[in-house]
Structure 1
């Protein structure tokens, strides 16, 4: 059976993506670190994993949930366990919590279960960052959120991310 790897995400516009790139480039990455390519910077809402390709049409429609637009303030650089360097919000808006919860509620309706672990909103800046020194500060990012996306992640030849649908 053919499958495709999917996730739900907040997908930045060009201006926010440039601000995220500026933050990423403030870090002095150690040898072996893998900074995230600028075009792949995003905030995951739910990782859906490998799904049958023939299930995608039902997912496209079944993952539409109502939500209120909001603003997300990013600017907290952190190094997580396992060498994951992230940029996190200075505070988590209730609207983001509500959107995450609404999508969690929609997943069983399309045959999926939400992850059991707590949601920690962040943008991954790099993997295998080891003992990188965390930048003291960087540009303040004020990200207006008026949509979320269903994204396909391809690996190997033709790797990259493709936005399958924007939900407004």
Structure 2
């Protein structure tokens, strides 16, 4: 099975991303369907189904430990490989922490994932020759869950994503410890 961990957009973020993804696109561009828009946290590639229970346990642990947050997608760009993307101006620390913990957990399970520096982005289109004008404005993208997703070939050859498991992020922010008050001398 081809697997990855991701965060799906909520309805408001999905609608805003889909609005940006309307184009007009350069000839030959393949926009991403709005039901396929997502933020990939870790791509695992082909994984033996026997590892699924361990991946689900990892997802559950991370869901309990990691803090929900939001990111503001305000950058749009085009890579030489034809990908048009949306990305945050600043990557939230909670997202960086989640990805680091996820990569560490995968390594402990012996599951390979990307080792390059994490650059969060949402793919809006493929096979684009250039970045067309896109609707201005930022998109708020909640990071409130973690999903284990299978990537499969659909009946007409397009890629279909199937969520195998999903965990809410329910960790709490660490509060700064306050120093106990020192009684006055005297």
TM over 0.5: yes
Is it true that 1:162 corresponds to 2:178 in the alignment? no
1:79-130: CA deviation from partner (whole Å, max 9, x where unpaired): 0121110001121111111111010111022221331211110000011111
Alignment of structure 1 residues 46-125 onto 2, 5 Å: 46-64=42-60, 65=62, 66-125=65-124
Match of 1:144 among 142, 145, 154: 142
Q: Separation in 2 of the partners of 1:83 and 1:143?
A: 23
The equivalent of 2:7 in structure 1 is 10
How much has 1:32 moved relative to structure 2? 1.2
Q: Separation in 2 of the partners of 1:114 and 1:153?
A: 15
Q: Secondary structure at the match of 1:63?
A: helix
> Which runs of 5 or more residues in structure 1 are unaligned?
none
The alignment's TM-score, normalised by the length of structure 2, stands at 0.81
State which drifts further: 10-19 or 31-40: 10-19
How much has 1:62 moved relative to structure 2? 2.5
Q: Separation in 2 of the partners of 1:105 and 1:81?
A: 30
Q: As a proportion of its length, which structure holds more strand?
A: 1
Please list every run of at least 4 consecutive aligned residues from structure 1 whose deviation after the TM superposition is greater than 3 angstroms.
none
How much has 1:151 moved relative to structure 2? 0.7
Change (3 A) 1:156 1:142: closer
> Which runs of 5 or more residues in structure 2 are unaligned?
169-186
Aligned-CA RMSD value: 1.6
The alignment's TM-score, normalised by the length of structure 1, stands at 0.89
Is it true that 1:39 corresponds to 2:35 in the alignment? yes
Higher radius of gyration, 1 or 2: 2
How much has 1:155 moved relative to structure 2? 1.3
Change (3 A) 1:84 1:93: same
